[in-house]
Structure 1
Amino acid sequence: MRVFVLLVCLSVGCLAQRPQRCTSPPLLTGSLSVSSANEKLTVFARYTYDALRQRIRLVEWGSYQNQSFHSDALLLYREGVVYKINNRNRTCCKKALCRSFHPLAVPQNASLLGQVVLGSSSGPAQGVLVNTWAGKLNMKKTRAKYMSTVTEFGCVPVSTLFYTDKTGWIVTSFFNNVIGLADPQMLIPPSFCRDAQLETENGEGPETFFSVL
């Protein structure tokens, strides 16, 4: 009987230790980098993320096909608009945001690839335990592959790899993450955006999270 109870306890312990799919904190502030070999794209950005009210602010610097650029965008998913902000000239461009908001989370169809320690496990505070998940997504015109790495404790995003035949691998790395909103004003349109009119698409298609990047 004692052996049976011990086996049951060990089984429950193993199940409890197995990494679980998770959702990242609803409020995050930090930095990220995006790179794509096929598209010759390199981006560094500061981000402010609010899953509760479905808002994202991205302030970016980068290069695309050897051309440097700077972008400041506020994505308001509930309103279905994105503001491209120029603080220097105090101008604002308002366009449609066509896609639904998707919170930072491990998809339900993801499969666990493994659990590792980034850094060292030799001493306290020398490493971070992370889980890597992988899966496939059916998109409108293609099928995509992804790999997502998050921390075991807190489900804080570490990196995401995304692949389609058109783009190749796109690598996003998150760093300097802080739970909460460091500056809530970053998620409110500046006063000079108040009278901005929704612009037509001009054949470019509605703005999305990926086109803003």
Structure 2
Amino acid sequence: MKAAILLCLAFGAVLGQIPSPCNSPPQWEGREVRMDYSQKYEERRRLFYDQTNLRTRTIAEVEINSTREFYDVISLFKERKMYSLNMRTKTCNVTNIEPDRAFHYRGVHPDARFEGILSLGAAGFPGENIQVEVFSANETNDFYTGIVTSPGCIPVNNIHISQKYGYEHSDYFDITVGITDPQAFVPPTNFCDRSHVDMKTAVIFLSVVGAVFSQVPTPCESPRQWQARERVAEFGKNFEEYHKVYYDGSSGRERNIAEIEDGSDREFFDILSLFNENKRYMINMKTRQCNVSSINRPFRHRGVPPNAQFTNAFTLGSVALPGQGLSVQSFIANVTFGTFHEEYFGLVTSPGCVPINNYYYNPSEQTKSVVAYYDLTVGISDPMIFVPPPECM
């Protein structure tokens, strides 16, 4: 899996020389969407980060009417102490941080090596494209890869993989450099008092609102045809792969060509899906054998679905540093086609509506998929890309 991440992220980098690791801000606060693939777990939370003193504080964004537990957690890695407040039951728990649990660097790891350059958003949309750099590092029993803005080195997302804790993925939004509350990492004596909980809950609900609008925006219209690189990860199947994707929303067509891992014994496929014709052509890229089948699900809108609802507005990267942030909007939708049902959550640039991330959840199959897009260009460069390959005729 690590080889796939690095091979695909490094692919496409254009460099005169290999850059040395940049220095991410050591202290900042923002919002985080954290996904634990091995635990099939996802959480949105407020994050206070202090790399200098190896401290973090995470405050979960409470979901109204949810039966889940939500926590306010202070982690002090120098002291190896964790203070966890259950925001529903108002109970506290103080534990030792396990000896093999390392501090997670959210920016560029001190021992990182450069892997490649990518872009988020789309070329040709002024103010809706930022350049990012990719770095990776190996720790004891842990592997890290992270994406930061260039040249500001502001965290955008990162992945930590370990044998014990599995695969953890975080995306970061609305980052401001520095810590506004000097007491953020101090476990107060009234950490479990209701007054403290109510104050923090208020902060959480204010952060969920995020932006004030005179009226709720209507769904924007994403470009109908584009091509990009994508990273697909599926929670329920422990699957991750990188593709070149060609998307035609006007005619219900897409083509996904896997990026092959050198030395891997896995199978990789070139898949052409023609939804209007209910045909899928799947070529094994090693054997060149083709399989033609029917399609048993509706066409997925990679941009904003027609029935989507606006949920929020964010900044990917920094809200304060010029050229180091990308304005995005989020939308949700339910897709039903016969017995097929899927829930959608997506991020797109604003106002161009260019796809950044899509999240899909299938309740009946209990699967979650995350798709991220890089180096997107509007339009299709090859007019023959949706023609079935000769191996399938």
TM-score, normalization by structure 1: 0.69
Residue 193 (structure 1) shift: 2.9
Select 1:129's aligned residue among 327, 331, 336: 327
Residue 99 (structure 1) shift: 4.1
* Contact 1:23–1:103, Cα closer than 8 Å, also in 2: no
Give the distance between the partners of 1:146 and 1:173, measured in 2 at CA: 14
Cα 1:87/1:33, change in 2 over 3 Å: closer
Counterpart residue number, 2:379: 180
Amino acid at match of 1:30: A
Could you say what secondary structure the match of 1:30 adopts?
strand
Residue 149 (structure 1) shift: 1.0
Residue 73 (structure 1) shift: 0.8
Counterpart residue number, 1:190: 389
Structure 1 range deviating more: 158-167 or 99-108: 99-108
Counterpart residue number, 2:283: 85
Counterpart residue number, 1:204: none
Write out aligned runs for 1:57-206 (5 A). Answer: 57-61=255-259, 68-86=266-284, 89-138=287-336, 140-141=338-339, 144-165=342-363, 166-194=365-393
Larger Rg: 2
Give the distance between the partners of 1:190 and 1:96, measured in 2 at CA: 17
Kindly indicate which of the two structures has a greater share of residues assigned to helix. 1
* Contact 2:361–2:368, Cα closer than 8 Å, also in 1: yes
Amino acid at match of 2:230: L
Cα 1:143/1:21, change in 2 over 3 Å: same
* Contact 1:136–1:144, Cα closer than 8 Å, also in 2: yes
Give the distance between the partners of 2:301 and 2:285, measured in 1 at CA: 28
Cα 1:189/1:96, change in 2 over 3 Å: same
Amino acid at match of 2:320: S
Counterpart residue number, 1:41: 239
Counterpart residue number, 1:6: none
Give the distance between the partners of 2:243 and 2:342, measured in 1 at CA: 24
Give ranges in structure 1 of 5+ residues lacking alignment. Answer: 1-12, 195-213
Deviation digits for residues 56-111 of structure 1, max 9, x if unmatched? 11112589xxx833011111223221111246655432222344435434235433
Deviation digits for residues 118-166 of structure 1, max 9, x if unmatched? 1123344322110112244446557543311111122111112222343
Give the distance between the partners of 1:62 and 1:20, measured in 2 at CA: 40
Superposition RMSD in Å: 3.0
Counterpart residue number, 2:15: none
Structure 1 range deviating more: 68-77 or 167-176: 167-176
* Contact 2:297–2:340, Cα closer than 8 Å, also in 1: no
Amino acid at match of 2:294: A
Cα 1:29/1:117, change in 2 over 3 Å: same
Could you say what secondary structure the match of 2:384 adopts?
helix
Amino acid at match of 2:366: T
**More contact order relative to length (CA 8 Å, sep ≥ 6):** 1
Select 2:225's aligned residue among 9, 18, 27: 27
* Contact 1:25–1:156, Cα closer than 8 Å, also in 2: yes
* Contact 1:39–1:167, Cα closer than 8 Å, also in 2: no
Counterpart residue number, 1:8: none
Amino acid at match of 2:234: S
Could you say what secondary structure the match of 2:385 adopts?
helix
TM-score, normalization by structure 2: 0.40
Could you say what secondary structure the match of 2:351 adopts?
coil
Give ranges in structure 2 of 5+ residues lacking alignment. Answer: 1-212
Residue 174 (structure 1) shift: 1.5
Deviation digits for residues 148-202 of structure 1, max 9, x if unmatched? 11111221111122223433432111121111113233222223433xxxxxxxx
Structure 1 range deviating more: 106-115 or 35-44: 106-115
Cα 1:136/1:83, change in 2 over 3 Å: closer
Amino acid at match of 2:238: K
Give the distance between the partners of 2:286 and 2:268, measured in 1 at CA: 12
